[in-house]
Amino acid sequence: MERHVTIVESTAVPTVPTVASLVWRDELATEVFAATLAQKAALRNAFIALHGDLGAGKTTLVRHLLRALGVQGRVKSPTYAVVEPYELPGLNVWHFDFYRFDDPREWEDAGFRDIFASPGLKLAEWPEKAARMLPVADLDIHLQTDTDQQRLVTLTAHTATGRALVSALPLQRPVPVTILPES
Ligand SMILES: Nc1ncnc2c1ncn2[C@@H]1O[C@H](COP(=O)(O)OP(=O)(O)OP(=O)(O)O)[C@@H](O)[C@H]1O
Ligand SMILES: [Mg+2]
C-alpha cells in the first residue's frame, strides 16, 4: 500500500514583535529609551540605522545612547567627518552620518567596510545615502516629528539581534490623562 507523508512546515510565530511603534513626548522620553537600550547585551554587536528628516532627533538619540553607555565629554555630530569612533571598555562604537557621503570609493578607502565587519555597535544617520554599501540593519529606527514636537517612532527588527534589542522595551507606555473638574 502506498503511503503518503504530509510534511507540515513549522510556522512558529515569533514571540517578539518585529515592528513596534512608540511616541516620545519630549527629549526626556528619548533619554529614557536610550538608557533602556544601553542595558541590552545585544547592543555589543549591532547595526542600528536611524531614519528621519533633518531635525527628526537622530543625533539626539545617539547622544543619549552614548552617554548611557559611558561616553564622557562632547558627542560631536559626524556630518563632516562621516564617522566618529568611540572606544569604551569592552565596546567599540561608531557613529556615522552619511548625509554628505557621495563617493562609493570612500567606503573602502576610509575603512568603512572593515568597521562593518568588526564587532561593536554601529549607529548610522542617513543610511539611505549609503544604501548600496550598507548591510541590512539589525534594527531600523524611524523618527518623525509630530505637530506638537513629539516624535513618532517606529522600530523594525530584521535579525535576531534586532529582535533582542526591541524585546522588553517599554514600548506601549500609557499616557496619563488628567480630567479636570468642570468649573
Ligand atoms: N524627542 C524629542 N522631543 C523634542 N525635541 C527633540 C527630541 N529629539 C530631538 N529634539 C530636538 O530636535 C532638534 C534636532 O535634533 P537632532 O539634531 O538630533 O536631529 P537629526 O535627526 O540628527 O538631524 P540631522 O538630519 O540634521 O542630523 C534638537 O534641537 C533636539 O533638541
Ligand atoms: Mg544628526
55-93 pLDDT tens trace: 999 999 999 999 999 999 889 888 888 999 999 999 999
| pLDDT (mean) for 109-120 | 96
User: Residue 95: pLDDT above 80?
Assistant: yes
- Identify the pLDDT of residue 169: 76
Give the Å distance between the CA of 53 and the centre of ligand 2: 9
Name the residue at shortest CA distance from atom 13 of ligand 1: 55
All domains of the chain in start order, with CATH: 19-166 (3.40.50.300)
- Identify the pLDDT of residue 5: 54
Spatial distance between the Cα atoms of 108 and 103, rounded to a whole number of angstroms? 10
Spatial distance between the Cα atoms of 114 and 74, rounded to a whole number of angstroms? 26
User: Residue 37: pLDDT above 70?
Assistant: yes
Band of pLDDT at residue 49, cut at 50, 70 and 90: very high
Which residue type occupies 64?
H
- Identify the pLDDT of residue 180: 62
**Which chain residues have CB less than 5 Å from ligand 2, an ion?**
58-59, 125
The ligand that comes nearest to the alpha carbon of residue 56 is: 1
- Identify the pLDDT of residue 176: 47
CB atoms within 10 A of CB 116: 17
Q: Which of 131, 161, 125, 160 is nearest to 143 (CA)?
A: 125
β strands within the chain, DSSP E: 19-24, 46-51, 83-88, 91-97, 121-125, 139-145, 151-157
The ligand that comes nearest to the alpha carbon of residue 60 is: 1
Using most ligand atoms within 8 A of CB, pick from 60, 64, 145 the residue to mutate for ligand 1: 60
